[in-house]
Amino acid sequence: MKTIGLLGGMSWHSTALYYRLLNEGIQQKLGGLHSARILLSSLDFAEIATLQDNRDWNTAGHLLADHAFKLQQAGADFILIGTNTMHISVPIIEQVIDIPVLHIADATADVIIKAGYQTTGLIGTRFTMQMDYYKERLQAKGLQVLVPDEFGCTRINDVIFEELCYGEIRDGSKQDYLEFIDQLVEKGAECVIEGCTEITLLVKQEDTTVKLFDTTAIHAQAAVEFALSTG
């Protein structure tokens, strides 16, 4: 079994979910008392959030790269970044490590395409929805990507950083998210990506008839499969 190097803490709520899903996935595959081999480097999210607000992606990227390098030195066989937004740092991280980074957008796109969808909505942080680094990765796989309007992006982003990252789940915010999901469907989306690892804490598949793709679960499952693969 390969050792997973998990970059976490962004936020710790979603990292806790990753930890559970990774261990559940390994146990389901191998049975018995098996669990995942995980090395966790948990960053201080306040520091990362400040760099995000200042659009200082270079400093943030080198910070994550330093932690990824330490995970490699500690024995990690590949890197899992436990956040959608900070996959913006992948190019910098890949410059300083010799082990693979399992990209969340690639894993998600593969699952969506396998399910037969071509056009997807995307909700997440403002950075994920409005910058190109994430959408281009999905588009490179052949998907068409739709995002909410400016009002929707602002509201979705605010809920993530002002509520979900603190572990707060509010019914009003869930209803707003469901409305934004419906609006994406009206624009032509066949499904919607929950492109922030905290969103699954708020909106689950049973809350809507629209097909949702939970990037946290998809990413964790891809990591389980990679950890158990040969070569």
For the stretch 147-164, pLDDT in tens is 999 999 999 999 999 999
Query: Where in the chain is CATH 3.40.50.1860?
Result: 4-103+218-228, 104-214
Rg (CA), the chain: 17
- CB distance 87 to 105 below 8 Å: yes
- The structure's pTM equals 0.92
Of the candidate CATH numbers 3.40.50.1860, 3.50.50.60, 3.30.565.10, 3.30.470.160, the domain formed by 104-214 belongs to 3.40.50.1860
Q: Which of 24-33, 42-51, 171-180, 192-201 has the lowest mean pLDDT?
A: 192-201
pLDDT at 231 exceeding the cut of 80: no
Mean pLDDT, the chain, rounded, equals 96
pLDDT band at 197 (very low <50, low <70, confident <90, very high): confident
> Two tokens at 136?
């281009």
Residues acting as catalytic residues: 83, 196
Which CATH number does 4-103+218-228 carry? 3.40.50.1860
> Two tokens at 201?
């804490």
- CB distance 98 to 109 below 8 Å: no
Give residues with Cβ within 8 angstroms of 192, minimum separation 6: 120, 121, 122, 123, 181, 184, 185, 210, 211, 212, 213
pLDDT attached to residue 122: 97
Average pLDDT over residues 166-170: 92
pLDDT band at 84 (very low <50, low <70, confident <90, very high): very high
Measured CA to CA, the distance from residue 75 to residue 189 in angstroms comes to: 41
